[in-house]
Structure 1
Amino acid sequence: MSERPMPVAQRAAPDAPPDATGHGSQFALLRQRRFAPFFWTQFLGAMNDNVFKIGFTSLVTYQAARFSGVDPKTVAFLISAIFITPFVLFSATSGQVADKYDKAVLMRWVKTFEIAVMLIGAAGFWMHSAPLLYLCTFLMGVHSTVFGPIKYAYLPQKLAADELVGGNGLVEMGTFVAILIGTIMGGIAAGIGASDAVSPVSAVSKGASATVASVTSGPPVGAWWLGGLCIGIALIGRVASAFVPPCAPPQPELRINWNPFSETWRNLRLAHGNRTVFLSLLGISWLWFVGATFLASFFNFAKDVLSADPDVVTLLLAMFSLGIGIGSLLCERLSRRRIEIGLVPLGSIGMSVFGIDLFFASHALPAAPHLLTVGEFVRTLAHWRVLADLFLLAMFGGFYSVPLYALIQSRCAPSHRARIIAANNILNSLFMIVSALMAMGLTAAGVGIAGIFLTTALLNIVVAAYIYTLVPEFLLRFVAWVLVHTVYRVRLVHAERIPAEGAAVLVCNHVSYVDAVVIMAESPRPIRFVMDHQIFRSPLMGRLFRQAKAIPIAPAHEDPALLAAAYETCAAALAEGELVCIFPEGKLTKTGDMSPFRHGVTEILRRHPAPVVPMALRGLWGSAFSRHAASGQERPVRRGLTSRLTLAVGEPVAPGDVTVDELQRTVAELRGARR
């Protein structure tokens, strides 16, 4: 007997080594060459971005006398605008480059470019030249623009399907930790020598209170530290990139369109071709909208709302970064190393809940006689509620973003994956610009920082509801995820036999009203369920299931035309390579025993042959959603809240070998004696 191929759901990525699957934890990736050098390369790049930007902003804000022609009140907004401009201009071109050339080689070129850029930046620091520093800011934006598509297109080439969520979680965690460390390092370096009376970090934030004379007469030690630090981090990043293994380009024959405007439009149209992927891009961009609104408001939030000195901003940023990092890492455990988009609604709910609570927490603070230091701030219990809200809001943001990134990487064609990521960067940039405009408009209208937070949280509810209405798969997977993590505990037997790609007919016994939900929760991909036509008569449920592409079916004696149409729709879905699930009994069991199978499966296969995967659910009989419990013969709460379920999946059966009797016997064996 020949060995069966590894199920698609467990296959390694094309460039991954033979042992690319089956690691015990996502942290094991940090010991493997296919991931670790890449991780530290992107980590150091994100850190250097923030060392430079925070250092630059601090110097020109608190030592403005050294920089002629700079307005310290607007420089922070100008630096952000300059940095983000390349994302709008060059993301489309960088996506083409990442699809055409070896990504490992591109990483080394980008890190070499970073060294040159930081030499310019160091010269700007040492010479106190604002034009040089603005030029460096723009070039660092170019660096990040080129690196973005490389980063997210590299992961699915090197990681197996069951590693993709964990790998993305590590990258998201690493990015925000790098931002935090870079922010602290940039602030400390810029503050060195600014004032002998305060600590380095305080010098950054309190330098505005020092006299101009003391600033201009003091030695520019901080500028020298900043320049050397940026160059040093760039050099270390270049060394790390040298260990990134080769990564074959998916489309080496691609002809690059150097016109950024026409290519930007083409990339957006390319992303729009897959509705789920495009809406996922919009979802990620919305997260950047929310994040940019909060992060840009931290200084004013600390001063005007919390009555705290600017050192507290570092604490706020730390809580926000830790929340994103922990949320990103938890995604792998919560999703059981699969792409679980059911976490996305959970994330959006948490973001809104804690964003709204942050508004109320901001109005329940005691009055402060002066700007509080970090020590004074943490000694007040009401402030811990603010910190908890920021931490939890960011943690749920991690639940929201990681599955969306993994979904995009897995569902777009490898040949243009980097260009889809480039389209994502374009949309992110546009949403961040709109975020800044909204915040400025609300501020001009007299809305305070806490009001801006509340507005953003409420808008998040509206946007989330709109997206989940357009793509009910997110909401259905959320319901399924909640069900199997609260009411039920599911044990899987050979779940890897559910194919992760290609057409197949799934056949299962019908025990309860939530059979489809349980199966959906354990499937690696969407399923077209064949469902009784009466369900579709409900205005709400009917709309939901139609949006989820469920297939209505009716008995021949009720509606023969609908029955025939259902078979044709199933055949068309199989022709498109989709999964179709049917319950051949045609009705819920009233006794717990299986009813005779009908001939629906063979009718579908007659129209379009496809492998048949038999499955069986056991343990649902007597639960809160089965007819036995509903009849009052057993207390459903006692069973429903502690039910242990099993979903057993059998060997796929070739379409030519399928008979109704043999299929029923196989499902009965999979179910066993337990109902």
Structure 2
Amino acid sequence: MAGQSQFALLKQRRFMPYFTVQALGAFNDNVYRQSIIALLVVMGVSLSERTLYTNLAPAIFILPYFLFSAIAGQIAEKVEKHKLIVITTAMEIAIMSIAAVGFLLENMPVLLVALFLTGMQSTLFGPVKYSILPSVLRPEELTGGNGLVEMGTSLSILAGMIYGGLVIKLAGSYGPEAAAISIVVLAIAGNVVARMIPKVDAGAPALKVNWNPVPESVAIMRLAKRQPAVRNAILGVSWFWFVGTVLTAQLPTYAELHLGGVANDTALYIFALALFSIGVGVGSLLCEKLSGRSVEIGLVPIGAFGITAFLLDLYFARPGAPPATGLTIAQFLGDRAGWRIVIDLTGIGVFTGFFVVPLFALIQSRTPRSELSRVIAGLNIQNSLFIVTAAILGVLLQMDGFSVGDLRIPLPGLSIPQVFLALAIANGLVALWIFTIVPEFLMRFVSMLLVRVLYRLHPRDIESSVPAEGAALIVCNHVSYMDALILSAAIPRPVRFVMYYRIFNVPGMHWIFRHAKAIPIAGAKEDPALMQRAFDAVDAALANGELVGIFPEGKLSRDGEIAAFKSGVERILARAAERGQRVPVVPMALRGMWSSMWSHRDSRMGRMRLPRRARAHVEVVAGPPIEDGTSTDAGALEAQVRMLRGDAA
């Protein structure tokens, strides 16, 4: 399993049918929506009426998310997930049959009614879409699985838009019939594949459904915001939809006015959209490799600042009119400046993948299974708000003002490149705000960057040993000054490390340890008051359901061997037992650290020189958790850590 690629999931029944259903659904939704727009052209509808319908359609589709997400989240929590997916895909067949009648009759009201019903069906499927993954994937597969889903979704949306725009045009006089047949066949295919998904137990089968959407929406939003990291991950995902909506909504006009595309020809627009979508797919797939098959939210800051950098360059690449108009894709690519825009659009997509995939994985890994569907429903409500806000704001920013009676309300009147510049600045500010209020995102980035640059890290059995939620005590051998950072990079949840106060105060590292909420400690003879404060802080952290990491040797190894574990670990567990808390203990071992930099193998002068053992192979090996720490002692834990480390000092 350690070297298994995420693509291996595509061969397994626990994932492949679900992945196919999700991709078919995204594809069919966009075939339908683009076919409506193409039909308006065939029907000879006036430009003003066509504009009305094209702006009305997204609003009709998104409205059910506001109305029914709270109910959908409860149903997804209560009903067995395989059964619910089969039901929702059967609903799609019925809805697409209504839409097919609309195409055959060329009746726009019928098509819009069916579009509303499609939004309702998507609302019901939404909470299942991501809440099912933690039940069918192992913890170390979450990032890769989410990357595949995000890749499949983005490419399916793109393919659906292309197919939907072409099916009516290429079929000639039989265009409406071709669109009608396509959407019904795709819906049937989705239902057939859905029946192959294995059964997945309901998260909360005893949940009583509240059918009043207003108070339940408020309750679900509160539930989604209970944990700070999850709350801000949800905010990050919604911001992803905001950025994506602003960007993609401008692309049709941007392609014509600033890329030099042919008027009333969508070829260059589809090409620009394809670059962004393919970039999202590539970035999503790269997340597993870059994260080392763990939920690595350290990628989120990289993604955020990468999006800002490429958006800024997109503005500077073409701030005004193009040098030529009426260009085909080949002619556009014949200009060097065109390739710069290609790189920018693709880069925005790649870093968007880095940004959103770890956030989805974090939400899934940190939320209790019995609440996950409702949290996803809360996410969908917030996403809808951000999408609508982005669409309205994108229009308002480009207006120079409007009148209300005799009152003239001025507006910025920005060009599309200036909208991209404003989006780049806003994205940077929002990212800084999120990372300021929840330092864990930035701390994971710092630890990931330092560890990835200095070492080649190989975690083993971490995800299966460290509990996904609740308190636990991590015990590990102590070899170098970098041990806490290495364990932080290997363990997906934040850890409160107890560390010797002199290491805590090391210049340059103090900022990192302080923001990581490390707990400084001293010996009883050095500073008994500091030692007592440290034990009190450990008690509070465990009582709060946090992970606490300790190095029971009490000092760095001087010879590469593991020293006797001190009794402080027993004292921590005994204090927890006195207040009625049974704390599990997870033994871990660092392997290969003695021969790496920053251990005592070198003299102080040797450590100050450029290390010869940079990029050393280092393993973090976790053993099975001891569910009740009071059943063990320091000697037994020392023996387990010795066994885990073996001879690989």
5+ residue gaps, structure 1, are: 1-20, 195-218
Deviation at 1:170, TM superposition (A): 1.6
Tell me the distance in 2 between the aligned counterparts of 1:439 and 1:605: 56
Tell me the distance in 2 between the aligned counterparts of 1:660 and 1:73: 72
Q: Counterpart of 1:323?
A: 279
Aligned mate of 1:311, from 267, 273, 278: 267
Q: Counterpart of 1:284?
A: 237
Alpha carbons of 1:605 and 1:245: their partners in 2 closer, same or farther (altered >3 Å)?
Answer: closer
Letter in 1 for 2:374: R
Q: Kindly report which structure 2 residues correspond to 1:122-161, keeping only aligned pairs within 5 A, or say none.
A: 122-161=100-139
Aligned mate of 2:620, from 637, 642, 647: 647
Alpha carbons of 1:630 and 1:326: their partners in 2 closer, same or farther (altered >3 Å)?
Answer: farther
Q: Secondary structure of 1:288's partner?
A: helix
Aligned mate of 1:480, from 444, 447, 463: 447
Aligned mate of 1:389, from 344, 349, 356: 344
Instruction: Give the length in aligned residue pairs.
Output: 627
On the 8 A contact 2:465/2:624 being kept in 1, the answer is no
Q: Counterpart of 1:518?
A: 486
Alpha carbons of 1:42 and 1:644: their partners in 2 closer, same or farther (altered >3 Å)?
Answer: closer
Q: Secondary structure of 2:253's partner?
A: helix
Letter in 2 for 1:475: L
Deviation at 1:540, TM superposition (A): 9.9
On the 8 A contact 2:246/2:394 being kept in 1, the answer is yes
Q: Counterpart of 1:230?
A: 183
Deviation at 1:275, TM superposition (A): 1.9
User: Which deviates the most, 86-95 or 153-162?
Assistant: 153-162
Q: Kindly report which structure 2 residues correspond to 1:547-586, keeping only aligned pairs within 5 A, or say none.
A: 548-557=516-525, 559-586=527-554
Q: Secondary structure of 2:398's partner?
A: helix
Deviation at 1:534, TM superposition (A): 6.5
User: Which deviates the most, 230-239 or 121-130?
Assistant: 121-130
Alpha carbons of 1:570 and 1:262: their partners in 2 closer, same or farther (altered >3 Å)?
Answer: same
Aligned mate of 1:99, from 61, 77, 98: 77
1:347 aligns with 2:336: no
Tell me the distance in 2 between the aligned counterparts of 1:26 and 1:585: 38
Aligned mate of 2:293, from 311, 334, 337: 337
Deviation at 1:657, TM superposition (A): 7.0
Q: Kindly report which structure 2 residues correspond to 1:241-320, keeping only aligned pairs within 5 A, or say none.
A: 241-309=194-262, 310-320=266-276
Deviation at 1:614, TM superposition (A): 4.6
On the 8 A contact 1:584/1:597 being kept in 2, the answer is yes
Letter in 2 for 1:527: V
Deviation at 1:256, TM superposition (A): 1.5
Tell me the distance in 1 between the aligned counterparts of 2:178 and 2:80: 35
On the 8 A contact 2:481/2:503 being kept in 1, the answer is no
Letter in 2 for 1:251: A
1:357 aligns with 2:313: yes
Tell me the distance in 1 between the aligned counterparts of 2:471 and 2:589: 20
TM-score (norm 1): 0.85
Q: Secondary structure of 1:415's partner?
A: coil
Q: Percent identity?
A: 43
Tell me the distance in 1 between the aligned counterparts of 2:619 and 2:207: 48
Tell me the distance in 2 between the aligned counterparts of 1:74 and 1:39: 35
On the 8 A contact 1:536/1:543 being kept in 2, the answer is no
Deviation at 1:125, TM superposition (A): 2.3
Tell me the distance in 1 between the aligned counterparts of 2:126 and 2:494: 28
Q: Counterpart of 2:425?
A: 458
User: Which deviates the most, 333-342 or 580-589?
Assistant: 580-589
On the 8 A contact 2:140/2:463 being kept in 1, the answer is no
Tell me the distance in 2 between the aligned counterparts of 1:243 and 1:665: 47
Give the root-mean-square deviation of aligned CA atoms: 3.1
Tell me the distance in 1 between the aligned counterparts of 2:94 and 2:624: 58
Alpha carbons of 1:286 and 1:589: their partners in 2 closer, same or farther (altered >3 Å)?
Answer: same
Tell me the distance in 1 between the aligned counterparts of 2:82 and 2:304: 35
User: Which deviates the most, 250-259 or 655-664?
Assistant: 655-664
On the 8 A contact 2:466/2:625 being kept in 1, the answer is no
Tell me the distance in 2 between the aligned counterparts of 1:421 and 1:652: 30
Deviation at 1:121, TM superposition (A): 1.9
1:171 aligns with 2:126: no
1:398 aligns with 2:365: no
Letter in 2 for 1:647: V
Aligned mate of 2:368, from 407, 413, 426: 413
Q: Counterpart of 2:7?
A: 27
Deviation at 1:32, TM superposition (A): 2.5
1:190 aligns with 2:178: no
Tell me the distance in 2 between the aligned counterparts of 1:565 and 1:598: 18
Letter in 2 for 1:33: R
Tell me the distance in 1 between the aligned counterparts of 2:133 and 2:540: 33
User: Which deviates the most, 185-194 or 542-551?
Assistant: 542-551
Deviation at 1:163, TM superposition (A): 2.3
Alpha carbons of 1:301 and 1:538: their partners in 2 closer, same or farther (altered >3 Å)?
Answer: farther
Q: Counterpart of 1:18?
A: none
Q: Counterpart of 1:631?
A: 604
On the 8 A contact 2:139/2:463 being kept in 1, the answer is no
5+ residue gaps, structure 2, are: 400-411, 578-582
